[in-house]
Chain A
């Protein structure tokens, strides 16, 4: 099975990085989250309810929908915040990429550790620009809002191709497919990583891997 890979590219001002990333990551995660599974006898399960809420961006003319889960929002914000800090520390006009990878765990026999097999990777390439005056910033607000809208349409288009999704697991296997640590929603197992390219582009000045969600912390 090949991993599906999608790349989205955005150009934003530095203060818009956080909201742009939150918008796209939350949009993807909303589609890749279900309600909590409750397993019953006879191999059946019921699924909880996922609520949604609208979020208005402050620096972009854009509103996105995310899952109503403060826990999930905290995790995503933390990852995006680290990415944003890394981008700003790399100097002005930085470029970077944040990746959201959905994976399945495959149990291996001792002494081998479990394998993480990605089945879908979303890479968001970010190009940060600096703007000279308020008028340009105002135009940028609107343009970035439109661009993000187009990206949401792209995301929806990919997801609605209904390509490979992991099979619904039995109770014993659920942690190999879903992240069951949250109390209100259940996204597929995912991890967020990022890397920064400096403006020279000649070398990757800092490559930082942050495994925000790695349940294999053995």
Chain B
């Protein structure tokens, strides 16, 4: 996978993950171009788009579009499953996720994606394992906060 974009029906970018290096300017151009192309597509059209030398796979979940750019030899039907898996994970984590969850906790959404995929490749196929890893890392952060508070109060 070359990159993944999440954007709203209004065309606002909600998350971007690039696995190929591009200058910022190009990233913005690509994002703009894809958002407008995809938003202009009718609902009865297929989820695939041939774009430059890549295949774009996108799917809409409520008000959010999930859009992935994959290479020619990649499996577009499976990419839909990857997107779905990501949505399921977010849903489990936030408890029926909505766009606002992703806006206000965008960093958490990134963390989740990073546990599912590294460098554009799926690296964990078990939902349980992903959620376990995220929970453990969240716990690490909480421990640090408690520790800091205790230190501030001079208790340790």
Tell whether A pairs with B. Answer: no
Interface residues of B (CB under 8 A from A): none
